[in-house]
Structure 1
Amino acid sequence: MTPQNELRLLPWSSPEGKPCFLSTDDTGGFLTRLADNTEAAQLDAGAELLEHAVDVLADGEAEMEELRTLTRDLAAALRDALRVAISRGHRLPTLNADAREGNEGPRLPAAAFG
């Protein structure tokens, strides 16, 4: 769930190459579903490309042009994966001050640790 009043980084850029954002609390809206599906497709494509890269590199006889293309495609897949990670990271719930300081959570007796 996107925190209220937070902008979601979308998994695509504007025609000018600028980041696109979505402001909504509707987790089932059209643009939210489109962004979720696009992220999933980008991550799936990256995983497939990684498998291909492993095969190409294991072959040992790849031509320079094939390696250039592979490198360009891997860079694009990494860019997409990082955008997904940033977007999802911003949507994680934040801990309050007590939790960050370790003052919140279950308390165990010393005997529980042996």
Structure 2
Amino acid sequence: MSHITGLRRLPWTSLEGKREYVQPGGILAAAADSCEESMVAAAREDVGRAQAIAGDECSCRAELREAIRFLSRAAEDAITVAELRGERLPPEEPMTNSGSSAMGETLVSRFEDA
């Protein structure tokens, strides 16, 4: 969750490299949504490029290193977007035994063991 309650972290930083926040809604939040969508689209393209290189039996070591760079950049973008969107999720409510599914109980026990 964001350390600043009620504000949304933007997918870019200030000129000084500091995180920036904005109130949800409005033009700046819409620009942030668009930026996140672009990051996901770029990640998909990078994965496609990497897969094409890896699938080509004639790819040399330099091309495979480039594929790794594509995948690394895609992973960075996907992680950033996941973190930003995760920060906007509402806090989880405590689970109760009444009405919880067997699947939910299994998942909870797996996380507790970790």
TM-score by length of 1: 0.69
> Are the aligned partners of 2:9 and 2:21 in contact in 1 as well (CA < 8 Å)?
yes
**Cα 1:104/1:87, change in 2 over 3 Å:** farther
> Are the aligned partners of 1:11 and 1:80 in contact in 2 as well (CA < 8 Å)?
no
Structure-1 residue corresponding to 2:22: 23
Structure 1 stretches of at least 4 aligned residues deviating more than 6 Å after TM superposition: none
Structure-1 residue corresponding to 2:5: 5
Structure-1 residue corresponding to 2:59: 62
Matches within 5 A, 1:29-48: 29-48=26-45
Structure 1 distance, partners of 2:38, 2:82, is 14
> Are the aligned partners of 2:9 and 2:22 in contact in 1 as well (CA < 8 Å)?
no
How far does residue 6 in structure 1 lie from its aligned partner after superposition? 3.4
Structure with bigger gyration radius: 1
- Secondary structure of the residue aligned to 1:76 is helix
Structure-1 residue corresponding to 2:89: 92
How far does residue 104 in structure 1 lie from its aligned partner after superposition? 7.2
- Secondary structure of the residue aligned to 2:92 is coil
Q: Deviations over 1:77-108 (max 9, x none)?
A: 21111011011001001133xxx1326769xx
Percent identity among equivalent residues?
Answer: 34
How far does residue 46 in structure 1 lie from its aligned partner after superposition? 0.8
Q: Which runs of 5+ in 2 are unaligned?
A: 101-114
> Are the aligned partners of 2:36 and 2:81 in contact in 1 as well (CA < 8 Å)?
yes
Task: Tell whether 2:48 aligns with 1:51.
Answer: yes
How far does residue 47 in structure 1 lie from its aligned partner after superposition? 1.0
Q: Deviations over 1:22-60 (max 9, x none)?
A: 1314x1x22111110011011011112212211211112
- Secondary structure of the residue aligned to 1:78 is helix
Residue identity opposite 2:20 in structure 1: F
TM-score by length of 2: 0.69
> Aligned residue pairs: how many?
98
With 84-93 and 59-68 compared, the bigger mean Cα shift is at: 59-68
